């Protein structure tokens, strides 16, 4: 059984771990001492590790790394919310924690690296080398797969539970189940050094998504003419991937998947 390390067992990391738990031995980290026992009770190896500007709590080197076959990094690194100085320190701490790792690596990035303006955005329009955090990660792990995630959705995390503006604007969202399946597909194919936008291929307006989630029928729904669309065509084509949730209007529906 392959061993996977998930650095960051928060909202996304825990859901990836739940999907993988029957097929891999999982090693993970959490920022919360209170969560350690709960995670361990599920048969997952867990250690305390916190990477933030407020505090750093982690062993100098994660002693599980040499055992791992795959490393998944879900710790957020927001260039919009943090200065480069803070990000450099946080990244340095992360690389010290992992040490040298030459096997398959996945880094969860974000589609916020693209301009906040109308247009159709593809991976080649914004190479990882032009994005500060992504470039630093590539320098540490040349083999890394960078996944630029759309707005994270699924379970109770639905658009209707957020304060929404500009209802005519289109969404660039992704269901967490598709994130896990994309990673599994890439593990199966032993893919390295790739950059993918991981976003549902359909882009309804916020008003359409809210109407579907609230079981409402609304006449005269309009989409803004100024659409900002993040394309997932490269992922679909190269991985031959079929989304479980291609349409954000149906993210609130429970769609089970067949385990490997």
pLDDT tens-digit profile of 89-111?
899 999 999 999 999 999 999 99
pLDDT tens-digit profile of 201-249?
999 999 999 999 999 987 766 677 789 999 999 999 999 999 999 999 9
Spatial contact of 200 and 174, defined as CB atoms under 8 Å apart: yes
pLDDT tens-digit profile of 120-151?
999 999 999 999 999 999 999 999 999 999 99
Which domains does the chain show, CATH number per domain?
3-250 (3.40.50.720)
| Global pTM value | 0.93
pLDDT tens-digit profile of 35-81?
998 999 999 999 988 776 555 555 568 989 999 999 999 999 987 77
């Amino acid at each position: 059984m392959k061993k996977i390390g998930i650095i960051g067992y928060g909202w996304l990391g825990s859901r990836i771990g739940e999907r993988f738990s029957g097929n891999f031995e999982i090693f993970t980290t959490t920022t919360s001492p209170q969560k350690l026992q709960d995670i361990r009770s599920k048969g997952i190896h867990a250690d305390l590790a916190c990477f933030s500007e407020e505090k750093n709590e982690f062993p100098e080197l994660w002693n599980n790394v040499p055992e791992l076959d795959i490393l998944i990094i879900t710790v957020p690194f927001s260039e919009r919310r943090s200065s480069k100085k803070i990000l450099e320190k946080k990244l340095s701490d992360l690389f010290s924690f992992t040490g040298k790792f030459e096997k398959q690596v996945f880094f969860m990035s974000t589609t916020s690296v693209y301009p906040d303006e109308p247009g159709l955005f593809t991976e080649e329009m914004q190479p990882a080398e032009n994005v500060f955090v992504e470039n630093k990660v590539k320098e540490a792990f040349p083999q890394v797969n960078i996944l630029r995630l759309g707005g994270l959705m699924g379970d109770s995390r639905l658009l209707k539970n957020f304060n929404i503006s500009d209802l005519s604007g289109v969404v660039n969202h992704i269901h967490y189940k598709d994130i896990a399946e994309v990673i599994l597909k890439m593990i199966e194919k032993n893919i390295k050094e790739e950059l993918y936008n991981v976003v549902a291929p359909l882009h309804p307006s916020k008003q359409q998504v809210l109407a579907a989630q609230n079981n409402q029928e609304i006449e005269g729904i309009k989409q803004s003419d100024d659409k900002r669309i993040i394309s997932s065509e490269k992922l679909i084509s190269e991985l031959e991937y079929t989304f479980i949730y291609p349409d954000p209007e149906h993210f609130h529906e429970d769609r089970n998947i067949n385990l490997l």
